[in-house]
Chains A and B, each alone.
Chain A
Amino acid sequence: MLLSLFFTFFKIGLFTFGGGYAMIANVREVVVEKYGWITEDEFFQMITIAESTPGPIAINMATYVGYRKKGVLGSALATLGVILPSLIIIYAISQFLDAFMANRYVAYAFVGIKSAVAFLILKAGTDLFRKLPKQWLSLSVFLAIFVLMILFELFSVNFSSIFFILIGGILGILAYAFAKSGKEAGENQ
């Protein structure tokens, strides 16, 4: 079972292109349909948890499934399995990437790839934007941070995005607390 956890997640890590969200479908297929390690309901519960916690979604899923099947050791092996392909492949690539980049044609290719990276990031961003609740608070937080990020870049201001994330989270809790106390005040009248 331990080995099977390791190899299953190794395979998932090896064959998932395009980041964590592509991985969700792969994990479901193997873990729910093929092996029945967790039920469909539990799978959706796991995705909710993975999306509510920080970090790569692949790692969250591997840890979760591993723990369910074989406790802490299981989760360690599943997580190791899912990151090992990346470690091996990227280590190999980094050995010759510099020499590779010095090649004239590779440099030409990267002039184009730069645009593709911008395209992929903008696309991921617009997909997420569509899912944002269209409420004034979340839209104004979005707009404020977007404009600030651009201004900081233009004027080379160093500011850690971690603070933006914390500010957003605190605003979220404050908004909740205000909405709740407003509601209670309304009920008391």
Chain B
Amino acid sequence: MATVELKNVSFTYNKSMKNAKKALDDISFRIEGGITGLIGHTGSGKSTLVQLLNGLLKPDSGTVLIDGTDIWKEPKKIRDVRFKVGLVMQYPEHQLFADTVREDIGFGPKNMGLSKEEIKKRVEESARFAGLDPEVLDKSPFDLSGGQKRRVALSGVLAMDPEVLILDEPAAGLDPAGRREILGGIKKFSREKGTCVIIVSHSMEDMALYCDDLIVMANAKILMHRPCAEVFSEAELLSSVGLDVPQITKIARLMQKAGADIGLDVYTVDYAVDKILELERTKH
């Protein structure tokens, strides 16, 4: 299983300028497989962190380790790191360029130097994970709807079969069904391939549903790195850094105040239902 590890990483934008801004301040963490959510207020350093992980940015100090190897040990081989660590940026549908969907999805695998058959296989497989119909593959990506374009862009990264997959707001601007399908596809991909996934999102509901662990960032530092339930039970701490808890956690808090305690670590509706039924049974 792939591991991602940061050791004392710091990064500053516009170092030489007057308006230098520390984006990351002595960050360390370790992730081993699973789906990790990265949450934080706007400007807390999430996007910077994401770009450091696949070598788009180089840390000022500290090391980024993927599978235990420092990615900057051989700066000339940074391209190999990018094949290993797939990054889906915000609004990735704005980066489509090819004549056909097939060609666009195959851009990454082609850059990896794979054979034609292998590219074809990967394109079809990743399109399936992203929920794209096979007949879409030979259309122009510019004829598709916004949601479908997003899926094409996502498959473009999935097709590289990365060991670590990073997604910056993968479901932003999609309708609820689209969100479920995209995030569900990512979860399935992660489970089947054993990919270590990091999702950046502002939607606490999505995070609660799809993530195992959460990393909470605030003021260029890591505030918490714990399982979802533990993070969401710290509602006061989260709101102090401008973050929220899922709606269902709020309801659980209100219920506790009203005398019906189902615990504060409730963060999905299904779990809440179980807890409430359990409470019902113990009452009678």
Genuine A/B complex: no
User: Which B residues have a C-beta under 8 Å from some C-beta of A?
Assistant: none
